[in-house]
Amino acid sequence: MKNLIAISILVLFASCDQTFPRKDPRQQYLAEMMQADADFAAMAAEKGYRKAFLHFMEDEAVLLRDNYLPIIGADAIRYVTGMNDSTFTVDWSPQGGDVSAAGDMGYTFGIYELRTAMERQSGTYVTVWRRQEDGSWKYLLDAGTQGLPSRDSLPAAE
């Protein structure tokens, strides 16, 4: 009888589905989008703000900038194209974000620092991204706020 119980238990365990849940595809999409934001920042540092913003911009993108109404689509492209990015540098890094259940849209946020010969300005940003048919990510909306102290003097996150 003990053998029959032991065999029954073994058969029961053997018949259970022992596969682990598959990795949520959203995790992969989020990682890709966060990498796109990091690549965006790296391109801005290496090749200039203008080139990076045009490369990662969707045609109908919206820019929210201080002292401007929303700058949309072709106007946003003209705004970025007309910038003289030789007088400043901008560094940023994504701190977090999320992606839709479908994995086709998401957002990143973080801290940026703009430097000119005369000043440093820090702030926060949010970028809304859309996944392209080829799997790449381009931004639909880019917005930032000014007014943070320098990164060195920010308190540690809890």
CATH of the domain at 67: 3.10.450.50
The two three-digit tokens of residue 104, written as one number: 């086709």
Query: Which residues span the domain enclosing 57?
Result: 26-152
Locus of tokens 């365990």: 13
pTM, two decimal places: 0.78
Residue 140 to residues 10, 16, 85, 89, Cα–Cα distance (Å): 55, 46, 21, 22
Give the pLDDT confidence of 19-59 residue by residue, as tens digits: 445 678 899 999 999 999 999 999 999 999 999 999 999 99
Give the pLDDT confidence of 83-128 residue by residue, as tens digits: 898 999 999 999 999 999 999 999 999 999 999 999 998 999 999 9
For residue 16, being part of any structural domain is answered with: no
| Model confidence at 142: pLDDT above 60 | yes
Per-residue pLDDT, 110: 96
Name the helix (H) or strand (E) containing 122: strand 120-131
